[in-house]
Amino acid sequence: MSVRRENVRRTKTSAAVRLRPYRVLIVLGLLAVAGASAFVVTWPGFAPKNVTVSGNRLIPAAEIVARARVSSHVNLWLQDPAAMERRVETIPYVAVAAVRRVPPSTVAIWVQERTPFAVVVFGTQASFVDRDLRVLGPAPAGSELPVFSLPKIAAPDAGTFLTDEDERALFDDYAALVAAHVFPRGLSYDRFGGLVATLPQGVTVFFGESTDLEKKFALVNPILAQAQRGGRRLATVDVRAPNTPVVTYR
Q: Which helix (H) or strand (E) holds 220?
A: helix 213-229
Q: What is the mean pLDDT of residues 170-197?
A: 94
Report the 10 Å Cβ neighbour count for 43. 13
Do both 235 and 169 map to the same domain?
yes
Q: Is residue 199 part of a domain?
A: yes
Domain count within the chain: 3
Cα 72 to Cα 102: distance, rounded to the nearest angstrom: 14
Can you tell me whether residue 191 is helix, strand or coil? coil
Q: Where do the DSSP E strands lie in the chain?
A: 50-54, 94-102, 106-113, 118-122, 125-129, 135-138, 147-149, 186-189, 195-198, 204-208, 234-238, 246-249
| pTM of the model as a whole | 0.76
Q: What is the mean pLDDT of residues 36-49?
A: 66
Do both 135 and 217 map to the same domain?
no
Q: Is residue 55 part of a domain?
A: yes
pLDDT at residue 126 greater than cutoff 70: yes
> What mean pLDDT value characterizes the chain?
87
Domain, as residue range, for 148: 115-161
Report the 10 Å Cβ neighbour count for 143. 13
Q: Is residue 25 part of a domain?
A: no
Do both 187 and 133 map to the same domain?
no
Do both 77 and 157 map to the same domain?
no
Cα 98 to Cα 112: distance, rounded to the nearest angstrom: 9
CB-based contact 173:217 (threshold 8 Å): no
Do both 144 and 210 map to the same domain?
no
CB-based contact 47:94 (threshold 8 Å): no
Q: Is residue 6 part of a domain?
A: no
* Higher per-residue confidence, 28 vs 98: 98
Number of H helices, E strands in the chain: 6, 12
Do both 104 and 90 map to the same domain?
yes
Q: How confident is the model at residue 161 (pLDDT cuts 50, 70, 90)?
A: very high
pLDDT at residue 188 greater than cutoff 70: yes
Cα 171 to Cα 116: distance, rounded to the nearest angstrom: 13
Q: How confident is the model at residue 31 (pLDDT cuts 50, 70, 90)?
A: very low
Q: What is the mean pLDDT of residues 13-17?
A: 63
